[in-house]
């Protein structure tokens, strides 16, 4: 079984994330959306809400599981017996950053990282941009799946 994890904070889940997930799920037998927990980070959305956004968006996809983890992504990948880490690339800066992490992870755990380029229509979207739009009262609905709501 080819199992991959797609790690991130997903604060919030964006159309860029869903693009990578929808294309990535076709490559693997199981895709675990792994929500990382960093106690030093201040999130806009609670862990429960972030998990709900993902579960609601992919409720009809049986190959997707949603889990949370703390610590190194590579350690979590060992725990769940994942063979691959899936990452999305929006631009050259993403590639350079992700390449260094991928090399480190392969050294630590012999795990392969699979990179997918984001679709042109979503390549400009990031969670930090979405949070900024939300904070400033803009219409963020065009940047996120329908499951993402601000209450």
Based on the residue annotation, tell me whether 17 is a catalytic residue of this protein: yes
Helix (H) or strand (E) holding 74: helix 73-79
Q: Name residues whose C-beta falls within 8 Å of residue 10's C-beta, 6 or more positions apart in sequence.
A: 17, 33, 35, 50, 53, 54, 127
128 is catalytic: no
For residues 28 and 120, what is the distance between their CA atoms, to the nearest angstrom? 23
- Find the catalytic residue in 23, 65, 90, 131: 90
Q: Return d(Cα 149, Cα 151) in angstroms, integer.
A: 6
- State phi, psi for 12 to the nearest 5 degrees: -100, 180
52 belongs to the catalytic site: no
Q: List beta partners, residue 4.
A: 31, 84
Which residues are the active-site residues? 17, 41, 90, 127
């Amino acid at each position: 079984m080819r199992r991959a994890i797609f790690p991130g904070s997903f604060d919030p889940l964006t159309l860029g994330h869903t693009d990578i997930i929808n294309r990535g799920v076709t490559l693997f037998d199981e895709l675990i959306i792994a929500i990382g927990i960093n106690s030093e980070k201040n999130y806009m959305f609670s862990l429960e809400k972030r998990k709900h956004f993902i579960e609601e968006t992919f409720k009809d996809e049986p190959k997707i599981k949603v889990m949370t983890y703390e610590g190194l992504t590579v350690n979590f990948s060992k725990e769940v017996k994942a063979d691959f880490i899936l990452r999305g690339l929006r631009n050259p800066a993403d590639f350079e950053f992700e390449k260094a992490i991928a090399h480190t992870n392969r050294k630590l755990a012999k795990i392969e990282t699979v990179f997918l380029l984001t679709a042109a229509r979503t390549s400009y979207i990031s969670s930090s941009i979405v949070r900024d739009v939300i904070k400033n009262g803009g219409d963020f609905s065009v940047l996120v799946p329908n499951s993402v709501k601000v209450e």
